[in-house]
Structures are given as structure tokens and as C-alpha cells.
Amino acid sequence: MAARMAFSRLTRSLCEVGRSRSLLLQSARWVTSASKTLTVTMDDKTGIAEMSLNRPPVNSLSLEFMTEINIALEKLEHEKFCRGVIITSAIPKIFSAGLDILEMYQPKPERLSEFWKTLQDMWLLLFGSRLTTIAAINGHSPAGGALVAMSCDYRIMAPGFNIGLNETQLGIVPPFWFIDTMMHTIGSRQTELCCQKGLMLSTEEAARIGLVDKVVPLDQIASEAKAEMQSWLKIPVAAKLITKQTIRAPILEKLQTRQEADVQNFCNFAMKDSVQKSLGMYLENLKKKQKE
């Protein structure tokens, strides 16, 4: 259901964005075409796909980028030989900076609502995926970046980076489904601590509370992710999937039944003068920081 709803919206998004992409089978490996920002490869011997995010400078999640991710996820979901996907970054030191703040600053209303629907779809696809999903977190992962990582079945992270839902530090409230995803991952008490304070945790702190499952040196993260994936793929597939669905269905349904209201709520909030003013200041600070 989640995947179906997400797919119809996805098709619409694709038309609106006006870009078409396809996955091509090239000598037994699937690769994305027509895009420099997302590379998806699949090893047809193991059924393991790798999705590498490559949108400089910081893999921020714009409407087009998320549409691309959604198309690739949908394609892998329906690829019968695909059994698992590892999500990682091609940008040194950054997994994903989260939502593209420029999408929310002085936006066109229609694009803003499409942006939020596409984010919802990305989460529904990833959190509800039939595939085993592993995040190989090879860089910082604030806010929406943490959401992507937490939506996977397993997280491996290299030391020296930060991860967390830092929204309250920016004066905004994390959407309920961001909070639900974190509660699913680390439980309510730790989520309350992390979300109220908008904590960005170091890799080690994140591992201590279970936000990250394994810490490995940066140069071993890709091989560890593959080894971990192999161990997941040894579990009988139907039993594993039904267990995942049983645990995740109520969390997915909560957003599915409120998708429109959530879009409206987000748009109303983001379009407020006060919020636009803070966004402008936040962007200025990010740019200033770079000059310092």
C-alpha cells in the first residue's frame, strides 16, 4: 500500500520535474543513467545494490534529488533479483546535510508542497521497503540525513562525524514521523532526550544509545556494509520481511492516513514570515561560516 501510493505520486513528480531516468542492465550490473547525482549499482550474483548519493556540496535533499532517489528505490523494489540495498555517500565527510534549505526559503507554494510529498514518499519507500537496507554512514548526517539513515534496517558509521535530529536547535519541531522513526530506532526516552535538545551525537555517542549499530573505520565501511548485508541475506526472506512489516506497519500507517494534512501543516508553517526570516538568517550563517 505504502509503496503503491508512493509510486503514483512519484510518477506525477517525475512528470512535473520533467526529467526521466532509467536503470539500465549493463553486463550483469544495474547502473543509473542520465544522472551524476545518484549512482546505483547492483551485483547480480549477490543481489546487493549500492546507492551512492553524490549531490555536491553536501547531498542536501532537493525535490529533484529525492525524486531520483525514489525512482531508484522503486525500481530496486520491483527488481526481482535485488535483495538488499546499501545507501552511502560519494561526498567526502558528508552522508547528507538533510533537507535542502533552499527549497524552503522563499518557495513557490506548489513546489513546496511537492517537495514535502516527495520527502514523505522517500520515507514511505525506504522505511517500508521489502529489501534489507543498510546505511553506510561515511559522513555527517543531520536532520533529514539522519532520517534516511534511521529508515534503514541497520546503520554502520565511521568515527569523526555527527548524526541526529537537530531541528529544535534551529527553532523548529521535528515532524511526527521523524520522531516516530527515531523512537522506533532508540526508544522513547532516548528520543525525547535527543529530540528535545536537538542533539547532534558523535558516532560513538550514537552507537552507545543504539542510533548506530556498528562503528568501523572509514576505509572499512564499504566492506563491512557488504559483510553485514550478507549475514542479513542468510535469514529466510519471508520470515524476515513479515517480521519487519509487523513492526513497521503501524508507524507507516500513521503517516499514510495523514499525508495531506502533514503537507498542509508543513507548508503553512514554512510560509510564515517569521520562519522565512529565520531561514534567511540560517542560510546567511551557513555561508558566513564558510568564509571564516
Provide the annotated active-site residues. Answer: 99, 144, 166-167
- Please state the closest distance from residue 35 (CB atom) to ligand LKXGUNVN, in A: 19
What stretches of 28-138 adopt beta strand conformation (E)? 29-32, 38-43, 48-53, 84-89, 93-94, 132-137
Helix H or strand E encompassing 142: strand 139-142
Q: Which stretch binds ligand LKXGUNVN (CB under 6 A): 38-46, 68-76, 241-249, 282-290?
A: 282-290
Grid cell, residue 59, equals 547531498
Tell which positions 135-164 bind ligand LKXGUNVN, by CB under 6 A.
140, 142-144
In the stretch 231-250, what mask flags binding to ligand LKXGUNVN with x, by CB under 6 A? --------------------
Q: Under the criterion CB under 6 A, does residue 4 sit at the interface with ligand LKXGUNVN?
A: no
Assess 175 for contact with ligand LKXGUNVN (CB under 6 A). Answer: yes
Stretch that binds ligand LKXGUNVN, among 72-80, 232-240, 256-264, 275-283 (CB under 6 A): 275-283
Cell 562503528 locates to 215
Nearer to ligand LKXGUNVN among residue 35 and residue 89 (C-beta): 89
57 binds ligand LKXGUNVN (CB under 6 A): yes
Q: Is 93 left (phi over 0), alpha (psi -120 to 50) or beta?
A: left
Give the DSSP H or E segment for 23: strand 23-26
Q: Cell numbers at residue 153, please?
A: 534496517
DSSP state of 236: -
Binding pattern to ligand LKXGUNVN, positions 97-136, x when CB under 6 A? xxxxxx-x--------------------------------
d(CA 249, CA 252): 5
Question: Residue 267's CB: how many other CB atoms inside 10 A?
Answer: 17
Gap between the terminal Cα atoms of the chain:
49
CB of 283 to ligand LKXGUNVN, least distance (A): 6
Stretch near ligand LKXGUNVN under the rule CB under 6 A, chosen from 45-53, 67-75, 166-174, 228-236: 166-174
Contact between 286 and ligand LKXGUNVN by CB under 6 A: the answer reads yes
User: Is the CB of 32 or the CB of 120 nearer to ligand LKXGUNVN?
Assistant: 120
Q: Which of 214, 153, 150, 199 has the alpha carbon at shortest distance from 177?
A: 150
22-57: b (≥16 Cβ within 10 Å) or e: ebeeeeeebebeebebbbbbbeeeebbbbbbbebee
Tell me which residues touch ligand LKXGUNVN (CB under 6 A): 57-58, 60, 94, 97-102, 104, 140, 142-144, 167, 170, 172, 174-175, 266, 269-270, 275, 278-279, 282, 286-287, 289-290
